[in-house]
Structure 1
Amino acid sequence: MPTVLITGCSSGFGLETAKLFVERGWTVIATMRKPGADILPPADNLTILPLDVTDPASIASAMDKAGDIDVLVNNAGFGAAVPIELIEPDTARQLFETNTLGTLAMLQAVLPKFRERRAGTIINVTSTATLKPLPLVSVYRASKAAVNALTESLAVEMEPFGVRVHIVLPGRSPETSFGNNAMPHLRGLDNADYKPLIEGMIANFRDGGGPVTHAIDVAEAVWRAATDPAAPLRIPAGEDAVQWMAEAG
């Protein structure tokens, strides 16, 4: 069976995607910064490896242990909801280092073999937040929009070599740890001008009503990208994501 390497498997989209590929018989390399024995149930076709996409030595070690792979899923990332005026420079750097440069580093780790073999699939998980202007997630949005642009150009570069390239765009998902991971970076609740906007954003994100994206939606979208040669470059994941993409044209 084919082998898939997935980054960011400790929770959310990456965890659900790893489970789905294991259940469907693929050889799965599930990576995360801090592996835990109880995160994924043991399986003969599952290997869990430590991987920090911002650390070149960690990437090299993981790729050496993983061996040849057929599909790379770049899912690792984090978010921060902060007004542009108030975002800490370190937070902005971390967003780009993880979401954008981490993706680039993983691409550079696998592309030589994919190109030489004239086969392979790249799947980059970004966000529907890139489809229209949204307050408070500007730098996160920019880091993911950069991955969209990177992926679009990569698809053109890899087409002559038989390497397929896709973007999976999830919508809002209360099931993930996005909100919890973003909270430590939150700034502005003590600012009378920004407080109402921030409180509204938090309430909206925690609201389970209306169309949302479930982790299984993302896993199924990644599965489609990995297994369907006719899959489009951009694949929305989740009912709200489908709506947003249709509105964006």
Structure 2
Amino acid sequence: MKKTVLITGTSSGIGKAAVIYFSEKGWNVAATMRNPQKETKLNKLPNVRLYTLDVTDEASIKIAIDSAITDFGDIDVIVNNAGYGAVGIFEKATPEQIQKQFDTNVFGVMNVTRQILPYFRKKRSGTIINVTSMGGLITFPIYSVYHGTKWAIEGWSEALSYELKPLGIKVKTVEPSAIKTDFYDRSQDLFQNAAITDYDNYEQVTLSNSQKAGETAPGPEVVAKEIFNAATETNFSIHHPVGGQAPLLLLLRRILPLSWFMGIVRSVVEKGFKGSLS
């Protein structure tokens, strides 16, 4: 019997790549997004069906999950991929931008998970995969709010795994390093406040260096493959870092004093910055 995965945030980037990869591997795929009527590629793939799902709307989550179970007969894996990237100087962020970041990246993941748990609990099996980020394990300048959401999901996922393991339910996190997607352009929301100018030089330099990392990064296909690996492994391991820099960065973060590691980050992300903010 074919296995079925439901993936959120599949209109672009990692989510779309994951739909394609699972379909190629013969899985049934429930590809969810806020506006499936705009999608022209995924609906042509074998064993793929599109569903409307907004992670901030619990009614739409329930309808999508129930519909996928009806259509495919089962859901074996949930991939919480939908995310929102807001970056920039924290002081420039509006309360609305901060709220949206947490509503999508934290509460959205919790909403989807809460809706699937009764089904997984009843059948005593299932896998929940949360696509977080290397930014949930380490930090960089101008990503403070984004990091806050990803660190929250990393901690929540670890704690949740204790509760769900006795029920046969796996919790896994996939932590991409820089990946070439529209995270760095179309989907990115930059905090702006023309009245605050003290950070301008620092912001310009760090933002430019961060964008360069995205331009030279591998594509989302490498993350899709790791998501599939996490979905098909039989053990209860949690963390799955992926991307060219991920293993090295995690190793350095583990073995170096924090001040040394932060110095390495500064040497890369703050490269070209002269002077101080004062």
- Give the TM-score taking structure 1 as reference length: 0.93
Instruction: Please give the secondary structure, in 2, of the residue aligned with 1:172.
Output: coil
1:177 Cα deviation (Å)?
Answer: 3.1
What residue in structure 2 maps to residue 200 of structure 1?
205
1:144/1:209 CA distance change after superposition, 3 Å: closer
What residue in structure 1 maps to residue 257 of structure 2?
none
Tell me how large the CA RMSD over aligned residues is: 1.9
Instruction: Please give the secondary structure, in 1, of the residue aligned with 2:90.
Output: coil
What residue in structure 1 maps to residue 22 of structure 2?
21
With 194-203 and 154-163 compared, the bigger mean Cα shift is at: 194-203
1:99/1:49 CA distance change after superposition, 3 Å: same
Structure 1: stretches of 5+ with no match in the other structure: none
Post-superposition Cα deviations, 1:113-152, rounded to whole Å, max 9, x if no partner, equal 1112111001000011122232211111111111111100
| Counterpart check, 1:233 vs 2:235 | no
Instruction: Please give the secondary structure, in 1, of the residue aligned with 2:171.
Output: strand
With 78-87 and 6-15 compared, the bigger mean Cα shift is at: 78-87
Rg comparison, structure with higher value: 2
Post-superposition Cα deviations, 1:56-114, rounded to whole Å, max 9, x if no partner, equal 11112111211130000000011111212121000100011111000001001111111
With 47-56 and 128-137 compared, the bigger mean Cα shift is at: 128-137
What residue in structure 2 maps to residue 50 of structure 1?
52
Given that 1:30 and 1:46 are in contact with CA atoms closer than 8 Å, whether structure 2 keeps it comes out as yes
- Structural mapping, 1:51-70, within 5 Å: 51-67=53-69, 68-70=74-76
With 38-47 and 100-109 compared, the bigger mean Cα shift is at: 38-47
With 188-197 and 158-167 compared, the bigger mean Cα shift is at: 188-197
1:70/1:200 CA distance change after superposition, 3 Å: same
Distance 1:209 1:99 in 2: 20
Letter paired with 2:237: P
1:248 Cα deviation (Å)?
Answer: 2.4
What residue in structure 2 maps to residue 179 of structure 1?
185
What residue in structure 1 maps to residue 117 of structure 2?
111
What number of residue pairs does the alignment pair up?
Answer: 248
With 88-97 and 186-195 compared, the bigger mean Cα shift is at: 186-195
What residue in structure 1 maps to residue 161 of structure 2?
155
Given that 1:189 and 1:195 are in contact with CA atoms closer than 8 Å, whether structure 2 keeps it comes out as no
Instruction: Please give the secondary structure, in 2, of the residue aligned with 1:168.
Output: strand
- Give the TM-score taking structure 2 as reference length: 0.83
With 32-41 and 162-171 compared, the bigger mean Cα shift is at: 32-41
Instruction: Please give the secondary structure, in 2, of the residue aligned with 1:177.
Output: helix
Given that 1:148 and 1:167 are in contact with CA atoms closer than 8 Å, whether structure 2 keeps it comes out as yes
Given that 2:134 and 2:246 are in contact with CA atoms closer than 8 Å, whether structure 1 keeps it comes out as yes
Given that 2:23 and 2:46 are in contact with CA atoms closer than 8 Å, whether structure 1 keeps it comes out as no
1:189 Cα deviation (Å)?
Answer: 6.7
Instruction: Please give the secondary structure, in 1, of the residue aligned with 2:87.
Output: coil
Letter paired with 1:7: T
What residue in structure 1 maps to residue 262 of structure 2?
none
Instruction: Please give the secondary structure, in 2, of the residue aligned with 1:180.
Output: coil
Distance 1:229 1:176 in 2: 32
1:163 Cα deviation (Å)?
Answer: 0.9
Given that 1:127 and 1:170 are in contact with CA atoms closer than 8 Å, whether structure 2 keeps it comes out as yes
Distance 1:235 1:108 in 2: 22
What residue in structure 1 maps to residue 263 of structure 2?
none
Structure 2: stretches of 5+ with no match in the other structure: 255-278
What residue in structure 2 maps to residue 212 of structure 1?
217
Distance 2:115 2:79 in 1: 13
Distance 2:17 2:164 in 1: 28
Distance 2:194 2:180 in 1: 21
- Structural mapping, 1:128-139, within 5 Å: 128-139=134-145
